[in-house]
Amino acid sequence: MSFSSLQFLLFFPVVAAIYYLLPHRLRWVHLLIASCVFYTAFIPAYLVLVLAMAAVDYSVALAMARADDARRKLYLALSLAMNLGTLAFFKYYNFAVENVNAVLSLAHVGGSAPALDILLPLGLSFHTFQAMSYTIDVYRGDQEPERHFGIYALYMLFFPRLSAGPIERAQHLLPQLRAEHPFDYGRVTDGLRQMAWGFFKKTVVADRLALGVDTIYREPRQYGGVELTLASVFFALQLYADFSGYSDIAVGAAKVFGIDVTNNFRRPYFATNLSEFWRRWHISLYSWFNDYVFSPLAIAMRHRGQLGVVLAVILTFTLSGLWHGAAWGFLAWGLLQGLAMAFETLTRKKRAKLIKLPPRLASALGVALTFSFVCFTLIFVRASTLSDAVYIVTHLGSGLGDFAGNALRPGHLALTVGSLGYYKEDFVIVMLATLVMLVVELVHERLDLRSFFAAKPAALRWATYYALGASILLYGAHNATQTFIYVQF
165 sits in the region (left: phi over 0; alpha: psi -120 to 50; else beta) called: left
For 325, list phi and psi in degrees, rounded to 5: -170, 150
Cα-based torsion angle of the residue sequence 208, 214, 220, 226 in order, rounded to the nearest 10 degrees: 0
For 260, list phi and psi in degrees, rounded to 5: -95, 125
Half-sphere exposure of residue 355: CA atoms within 13 angstroms, side-chain side = 12
For 138, list phi and psi in degrees, rounded to 5: -65, -45
Cα gap 159→178, rounded to integer Å: 16
Find the radius of gyration of the CA atoms of the chain.
24
In the residue annotation, 324 being an active-site residue is answered as yes
Residue 90 class from Cβ within 10 Å (0-12 exposed, 13-18 middle, 19+ buried)? buried
Q: Which one of the listed residues 324, 395, 412, 444 is annotated catalytic?
A: 324
- Cβ neighbours of 62 (radius 10 Å): 17
- Cβ neighbours of 109 (radius 10 Å): 10
By annotation, the residues acting in catalysis are 324
